[in-house]
Amino acid sequence: MNSRGLLGMMMALLLLAGLHGTALAKDGKQGNKGAKISFRETEHDFGTIAEDDGAVSHTFTFKNEGKVPIVVQSVSTSCGCTASDWTKEPVLPGKEGKITARFNPLGRPHQFTKSLTVRSNGDPASVILFIRGNVTPHVKTPSEIYFYRIGAFGTKGSYHSMDKITDKGKHATELEVHNFSEKKELISLVDYPPYMSVKPETLKVRGGETGSFKIIIDGEKVPSYDYQSCKVTVKHGETSRALHYAFTLLPDFSHIKDKDKAAKAYFPHRNVDLGQRKKGKTIKYDFVVKNIGKAPLKILRAKTSCGCMLVDLDEKEIRPGGETTLHMVFNTEGYAGRTNKTIKLILNDPSQPMVTLGVTVVLE
């Protein structure tokens, strides 16, 4: 290579090196001008706090380690129980800003973990902060527990559910009563249905203490299946108030050892759409009920969802392999638009003792 060519090559290399150095310098200046956000901590554990003590708060501190001011644009929280506040003015390089998280434990017992997402013009553009802890629940006072008052006494409300019971045997529940006075008082249960008994009928309770009655329902004496509701009158002195007890009575299947040999219902159509019909007219439809089991199938009750419907069965007991027809008549007077009605059946089928048939119609 001659001297002229060698000189040209060296000049080209120097030019490339100069360009590369200029680019590095520019990149360095650009990086120095950026905002950099740095938090001392991104998590805080409140430990154990009491629900009754009210809201708690913690302040997260961040520093601007960049070369331009940081502006916190928004702080979003993971739920409405967490509030936040933050430094609104620009945070200058080398200075600090704050993000304050507040958590309200009311109605939120036990462990919690909540997050706050901080968005800014800094690097990184978003930071997620976490607060956590464990809330010990509010301890209810007697006034909160026994809020339904009968004179000096209180009970846990006026409505009491016994859920599902069977038509065999006796089923018991307790009724707690709290005496809010400072002396012994008498309280009695009177006027309850014949299938119910109470022990004792009259209870003596010391002041500030709680006593209990035993409520017993004899399933064999309940007059009909499905949902039942009855009233019990509670009396203290001259004050009398009603309590309501509700339950669903179903057949007892404890005597069936082999359910494969029991009755089993099959419905070709459980829910039917009758399309459009003229309102104010009577609609009829026949449901078929088949017994595909190995014992007689008994339809113990057929109950409609309104007085506008009537049902009639050809047979209430179906032999194995047999079937019957349930005739439905729906008086649509007073109804318009899309209308849904139901028929609830109580069966001696242990696999499905309660079956609901549905009818949908558009009345125009």
pLDDT of 16 higher than 90: no
Q: Please check whether residues 166 and 243 belong to one and the same domain.
A: yes
Q: Please check whether residues 124 and 110 belong to one and the same domain.
A: yes
Q: pLDDT tens across 210-240, in order? A: 999 999 999 999 999 999 999 999 999 999 9
- Exposure of 328 in the CB half-sphere (CA atoms within 13 A): 29
Residue 286 forms part of a structural domain: yes
pLDDT of 31 higher than 50: no
Domain containing 126 equals 37-136
Burial level of 250, CB count in 10 A (0-12/13-18/19+)?
buried
**Average pLDDT of the chain?**
91
Q: Please check whether residues 66 and 124 belong to one and the same domain.
A: yes
Residue 53 forms part of a structural domain: yes
pLDDT at 82: 79
Q: Please check whether residues 43 and 93 belong to one and the same domain.
A: yes
Which ranges of the chain would DSSP assign to H, the alpha helix? 3-32, 142-145
pLDDT of 23 higher than 60: no
Q: Which residue has the higher pLDDT, 20 or 66?
A: 66
| Residues forming a β-bridge with 243 | 232
pLDDT of 42 higher than 80: yes
> Under a CB-based contact definition with an 8 Å cutoff, are residues 109 and 72 in contact?
no
pLDDT at 34: 85
Residue 23 forms part of a structural domain: no
Q: How far apart are CA 179 and CA 142, in angstroms?
A: 9
Both tokens of 240, joined, read 């009398």
Mean pLDDT for the stretch of residues 247-272 = 95
Residue 290 forms part of a structural domain: yes
pLDDT at 33: 56
Q: Please check whether residues 334 and 281 belong to one and the same domain.
A: yes
Residue 29 forms part of a structural domain: no
Residues whose CB falls within 8 Å of the CB of residue 141, separated by 6 or more in sequence, listed in order? none
Q: Please check whether residues 65 and 106 belong to one and the same domain.
A: yes
pLDDT of 25 higher than 90: no
Q: pLDDT tens across 117-151, in order? A: 999 999 999 999 999 999 999 999 999 999 999 99
Residue 49 forms part of a structural domain: yes
Q: Please check whether residues 106 and 162 belong to one and the same domain.
A: no
Residues whose CB falls within 8 Å of the CB of residue 296, separated by 6 or more in sequence, listed in order? 263, 317, 318, 319, 320
> Under a CB-based contact definition with an 8 Å cutoff, are residues 169 and 219 in contact?
yes
Q: pLDDT tens across 244-255, in order? A: 999 999 999 999
Mean pLDDT for the stretch of residues 185-197 = 97
Q: Please check whether residues 116 and 154 belong to one and the same domain.
A: no
Both tokens of 282, joined, read 């009577």
- Of 250, 285, 319, the position where a domain reaches its end is 250
Both tokens of 72, joined, read 């916190």
Q: Please check whether residues 213 and 239 belong to one and the same domain.
A: yes
Residue 204 forms part of a structural domain: yes
Q: Please check whether residues 126 and 217 belong to one and the same domain.
A: no
Q: Please check whether residues 67 and 156 belong to one and the same domain.
A: no
> Under a CB-based contact definition with an 8 Å cutoff, are residues 124 and 37 in contact?
yes
299: domain CATH number is 2.60.40.10
- Of 250, 275, 294, the position where a domain reaches its end is 250
Q: How many structural domains are present in the chain?
A: 3
- Of 250, 276, 299, the position where a domain reaches its end is 250
| Residues forming a β-bridge with 55 | none
Residue 102 forms part of a structural domain: yes
Of the listed ranges 25-34, 171-180, 252-261, 267-276, the least confidently predicted one is: 25-34
Q: How far apart are CA 341 and CA 358, in angstroms?
A: 6
